[in-house]
Amino acid sequence: MRALVTGGSGFIGGHLVDELIKKGWEVISLDDHSSSSTEEFYINEDCTNYKIDISDKEEMEKFSQSLLEQDISIDYAFHLAARTKIQLAIKDFYGAYNTNVMGTINVLEFCKKHNVKRMVFSSTSSVYGNNPCPNVETQIPDCLNPYAASKLSGEKICDLYNSLYGIETVKLRYFNVFGERMPDKGSYAPVVAIFAKQKKQNLSLTIVGDGTQKRDFVYVKDVVRANILVSQVKAENVVGEVFNIGAGENFAIKDIADHISPRQVHIPKRENEANVTLANINKIKRMVGWMPDVNLIRWIRAGDE
């Protein structure tokens, strides 16, 4: 089988590329490395890597045509490329929408031209906003920022390509993803990565606000496993569906910090972010058979051993 992975050099995408190759898939990765100021990129030399901006329609059409001319078929697509930082999206609303909405359209157009069997779309738990927890897929979205709104738009576009053109699409709403190779640059990197880096540099951990805000943290390789599972199960179980990808438990930021270092300082609270995230994962357990394996606190403790 051959897969297209957008964002294939990023944190989650890089792990997905690794696992697909390990399973014997041929993989084509697209990534424009545009987050270079905040993220280290990982390139697996065993896949075919293209440096392409998915929001560039002309560039995507040239890439698509080159594959057609080479008679290279794509069986499945995993769409992870996105602008994912909430605060940066607030500063650059246009940029977030250009990548997350127009880029998604370009990827779906590629899938249509190449008769891709199924596309798995990476969405976000941010669409739930201030909905009561645990968040369930049937809740009415409450987008508090441009990032959440752009990803919800991407979900709706996936539905349209499914209903209008018959392209099988599945949407996964990630909660807070952690694990090896987490980006740790910049003030908007994942909190677990920031804390680990600060401890390594013998600095105080910077806790946003009072630290009572809670987050559902899901392990990156569990996220990868969910992607592969939903690409392969029967269509009637997943096509057109949206699934929460979380741990089903959450932790206060202050409690996480306490497991890493007693040296702590508090910085001002950020606006337009939910105070609590917690996934209800009953739907994907029932319909796909996926469950998370790795607990955040045990992972942190294992790293200290």
Task: Give residue-wise pLDDT tens across range 236-263.
Answer: 999 999 999 999 999 999 999 999 999 9
Q: Which helix (H) or strand (E) holds 183?
A: none
Burial 169-198 (b: 16+ CB within 10 A, else e): bbbbbbbbbbbebbbbeeebbbbbbbbbeb
Domains of the chain by start residue, with CATH: 2-177+218-245 (3.40.50.720), 183-216+248-277+295-304 (3.90.25.10)
pTM of this prediction exceeds 0.85: yes
Task: Give residue-wise pLDDT tens across range 261-276.
Answer: 999 999 988 776 778 8
Report in angstroms the alpha-carbon separations of 31 from 28, 48, 102, 191.
Answer: 10, 11, 15, 24
CA-closest candidate to residue 245, choices 174, 155, 158: 174
Tell me what the pLDDT averaged over the chain comes to.
Answer: 93
Q: Which of 76, 97, 128, 147 does the annotation list as catalytic?
A: 147
Task: Give residue-wise pLDDT tens across range 38-97.
Answer: 457 889 999 999 999 999 999 999 999 999 999 999 999 999 999 877 777 788 888 889
Please report which confidence band the pLDDT of residue 35 belongs to, taking 50, 70 and 90 as the band edges.
Answer: low
Task: Give residue-wise pLDDT tens across range 174-197.
Answer: 999 999 999 887 656 789 999 999
Q: DSSP label at 145?
A: S
Report in angstroms the alpha-carbon separations of 33 from 39, 50, 52, 56, 283.
Answer: 9, 10, 9, 14, 34
Is 42 a catalytic site residue?
Answer: no
Task: Give residue-wise pLDDT tens across range 82-113.
Answer: 987 777 778 888 888 999 999 999 999 999 99
